[in-house]
Amino acid sequence: MSLPAVNQAEAKLKEAQNAFDASDWKRKAADTLAVLLRADFDYYNSKLHLEQLRERKERIDQARRNAAQAEALLARNKVESRVLKAIQNAERELLTANAQLQTGAPSMLLRGLADCLLYVDDAEVKLSKEEVRTIPVADRSRLTIPGALDVEITAGSSAGGLSRKVEDARRVLDDVCATAGVSNPDEARGAFEERREATRHVESKEQVEKENLRDLTYEELDKKLLGLQQAVPGYLAKRVAEPAICPDLDSAKKEWASAEASQQETSKQWESARESLDAARGVRDGLNTKHQELRVRLDLSSKDINQARENLQRARKSVPDGNLETALANAIQTVAFEDAGVRAAETSLKAKNPEQVRTLAETAKGSLRTTQNRRNAAQTELTENQTRLKIHGEEGLHEKLHLAQVGLERLIADNKSLFRRASSSKCLLETMREERDKTRRAYVAPLKEKIEQLGRLVFDGSLQVDISEELRIASRTLNGITVPFDSLSGGTKEQLSLIFRSACSMIVAKDGGTPLILDDALGYTDPDRLLLMGAVLAKAAKECQIVIFTCVPGRYGNVGEATFVAIG
């Protein structure tokens, strides 16, 4: 009967294997395409990076060349701000001296009555008709009209001092310009501007290097640039022809993103196909294992039947069937009678509350021992007192009476204090017991509910359990029949214990939880119950983590979506 299911599972496994192979081929193709498009994107990105590095290096090189030229200019250009200021001061002094000379020195006014030629200080001067010209006389000037007149004009002492002042200022200006390596103030100003521009180039070199090098050194930048120059041009030669490369960086990025999305989708499909394949393989393996077990059980059952037939034939030869039927009827009647007696005894025993009787008996025995000890002590004390009385008579009796009365009063006070403390302790005990019962009801009820919920997957809907004070399963009720936990079979105890632990883990899972670790459990559980316990573990695993150590993996083949990890 199990062979068609095995064959069907084998066919499903083959279908899942074919679907997995197709999904695996698509996944590998998507991975290859994603890798290629990522390489295309990296190529364009590297190409852009190469251009940017070239521009950065060129800016740095240009800044360094400008700085080198500027440093050479600064080495030969001596017109600093201090020198320029000295030249400007000397020029200002010369202009001031010239202005003073022109203001304080005499001058000649020449007015042409007709076109004429004359000489002023041996310098030829042509004077037109009606032309007026003023010539300053700094120290001494000579006016000559060829063939007609020779006039010499001498300035006073003040004009001579002004002229010397002008000469001194001009000499100072010439000396300052010569020291600075320029010929005049205008050239000095031009040299100063050149020097300031050169200084700006030198100072801007560090800023340019900082902006373009960033977190690299010049050698690292050059090394990166060299690597990109070697890698980027060779990519297109090595790349496959199909599919064609995208025209630019943006399109390459879009294609790569699309390929990654397709890759993720194919990966999900591959994962789904793999899970389906694993599930189909698990179903096939489970059915195949069960089929093999059934074959073995069938063979063993056949042998048992043959052996039973042989035993039956031998028994029939020794004892007739009629005698057996009579003995069976008598045995059934005896069993029924004894069973009724047992039930009546159990009912009577339960009605008498044996646990209470046992506890009372043990308490009474303890009280009896205590009383006997006190009696023996009192008898010993009586003997001692009688002996002492015989020896001493009534000597010191009044004093002893007083001491006894004081002791009695002290004992009465101690007794009252003891009763007060006992009353307080009793009140505290009752309060704590009441709070404990409230707390216990708060967490016993969910635990009992969870145990019954899981247990009804294995047994039937009438299952009920009773939880003891020690948070243990005290009894199981099924179809109205209550059986103490200790009286259950080994397999049932094992199943209920596993259900109890699973319920505890599910309850505490909401507060962080703790994993449920099982070591080769369910060894006493038959195959049919293993199938139902697999459903219990699968349901519990949805709310808490379950770790199972076993050397018989087939025992847990019905758990569901479990992860198997081979150790060793």
Name every residue whose Cβ is closer than 8 Å to that of residue 551 and which is 6 or more positions away in sequence: 520
Q: What is the pLDDT of residue 395?
A: 54
Please check the confidence at residue 102 and state whether its pLDDT lies above 70: no
pLDDT band at 225 (very low <50, low <70, confident <90, very high): confident
Cβ atoms 52, 306 nearer than 8 A? no
Please check the confidence at residue 394 and state whether its pLDDT lies above 60: no
Copy the structure tokens of residue 419: 């009763």
Q: What is the pLDDT of residue 105?
A: 57
Comparing CA positions, the residue from 235, 213, 268 lying closest to residue 45 is 235
DSSP state of 485: G
513-557 confidence digits (pLDDT tens): 678 898 878 877 887 888 888 888 888 888 888 888 888 877 777
Please check the confidence at residue 312 and state whether its pLDDT lies above 60: yes
Please check the confidence at residue 398 and state whether its pLDDT lies above 80: no
Q: What is the pLDDT of residue 94?
A: 80
Strand partners, 517: 547
Of 79-93, 106-120, 475-489, where does mean pLDDT reach its minimum?
106-120
Q: What is the pLDDT of residue 343?
A: 83
Q: Residue 58 burial (CB < 10 Å; 0-12/13-18/19+)?
A: exposed
Distance CA 545, CA 332 (A): 51
Please check the confidence at residue 106 and state whether its pLDDT lies above 70: no
Name every residue whose Cβ is closer than 8 Å to that of residue 182 and which is 6 or more positions away in sequence: 79, 87, 188, 191
Global pTM? 0.35
Distance CA 273, CA 18 (A): 9
Please check the confidence at residue 156 and state whether its pLDDT lies above 60: no
pLDDT band at 155 (very low <50, low <70, confident <90, very high): low
Please check the confidence at residue 206 and state whether its pLDDT lies above 80: yes
Q: Where are the beta strands (DSSP E) in 146-194?
A: 149-154
Tell the residue number behind the tokens 């294609």, with chain if given: 255
- Asked if omega into 233 is within 30° of 0 (cis), the reply is no
Q: What is the pLDDT of residue 379?
A: 87
Q: What is the pLDDT of residue 104?
A: 58
462-476 confidence digits (pLDDT tens): 888 888 877 788 898
Distance CA 56, CA 318 (A): 113
Exposure pattern of 241-251 as b/e (b: 16+ CB <10 Å)? Answer: eeeebbeeeee
Tabulate helix, strand, coil % of the chain (nearest 5): 75, 10, 15
Q: In what order do the strands lie in the sheet with 140-145?
A: 123-127, 116-120, 140-145, 149-154
Comparing CA positions, the residue from 264, 266, 265, 281 lying closest to residue 16 is 281
Strand partners, 399: none
161-182 confidence digits (pLDDT tens): 777 787 888 888 888 888 888 8
Distance CA 462, CA 447 (A): 17
Q: Residue 427 burial (CB < 10 Å; 0-12/13-18/19+)?
A: exposed
Percent over 70 (pLDDT), the chain: 92
Q: What is the pLDDT of residue 512?
A: 67
Q: What is the pLDDT of residue 356?
A: 65
Percent over 90 (pLDDT), the chain: 1
Distance CA 454, CA 543 (A): 13
Cβ atoms 506, 546 nearer than 8 A? no
CB atoms closer than 10 angstroms to residue 115: 11
